[in-house]
Amino acid sequence: MRLIEPLTLSFGARAAAMVAAGVALPFGDGGAFAVARLFDDRRLVGVVRAGDLAADWVDVAARLIGGREWAGMAALPAVMGILNVTPDSFSDGGIDDSVAASVARGLAMVEAGAAIIDIGGESTRPGAAEMPVQQELDRLLPVIEGLRGCGAKISVDTRHAKVMRSVLMAGADIINDVAALAHELDAAETVAELNAPVVLMHMRGDPSSMERLGHYDDVAVDVTEELALRIDMAERAGVARHNIMVDPGVGFAKNAALSMELLNRMAILANLGCPILLGASRKRFVGQYTEAARPEARLGGSIAAALAGVARGARVVRVHDVAETVQALRLWEAL
């Protein structure tokens, strides 16, 4: 697989001027890059100025230009608020004592500017064990019922085909799968049948085994190519490409140094031709680089990660702290 990794990114008027001058090529939605690394079959073959890109790489560069609409949302980048309804999630597990409290927290996120509410009924933190599907549904369905019509898209974070079908029939709009539709044989077919937008996240193994599988030749290239295989699998099962968003899965089968490198080089994922979601909020690597031991103390680092992600092409950021992230993104876009 041929990949172009943008090394210098600009946005807004500066990007448009550079493209017009022929010294940069378009990137994402309104961005541009002036210098790039080139990879062919996972090998670095050169570093070039965009204006000097050879003709046989032009088709590859065309993949880096994104459209603005996904899941019926034209206004991107967007904030996805995390609403875990589990007792054991790493950051916010067990903070709600009732369905009403979870619904109220979701509505507060919408009021604060979240375009998507991502509801999770099963913890996928490192080391987490799989839980019964019915227990997951018992947690999810009442909250979906309470949030229907709230003004935001409803996403459900699940690996299970039966859960996917049930929540989509109950009014959810999006499936967010940490296993990229690989955990169960009929997951991809379910998403395809119901024509649902889906987030395919990169992970190796499962939450109980992933920490043993974090060995990469080049984490950015390897993650991009492994996600390309998951996209191909989804399309062969009938999932429409315009419904697919990808997530590099920082913190999943990636230690702090690998997560930081992947975040820094995330623009390479644009080669996949799908919009990008970044979920870095309160992650362990944020705490390790900022010396913030408690997840809830990682607000500043989480906002920095979200802005870095958007500056590298992320179209959705998945966060715990919605109001603060929305404010930061508004200023970033104004700048």
Catalytic residues: 283, 318
**Cα end-to-end distance, the chain, whole Å:** 35
Walk across the sheet containing 25-27 and list its strands: 9-11, 31-33, 25-27
Closest CA to 152 of 316, 17, 328: 316
Residues β-bridged to residue 84: 120
Contact 61, 25 (CB under 8 A): yes
3-state secondary structure (DSSP) of residue 288 = helix
Q: Tell me the helices (H) and strands (E) count for the chain, helix number first.
A: 11, 14
Strand locations in 213-255 (E)? 244-247
Strands 2-6 and 35-40, how do they pair? antiparallel
Tokens standing for residue 134: 């019915």
Determine the Cα–Cα distance for residues 302 and 54; give it in Å rounded to an integer.
38
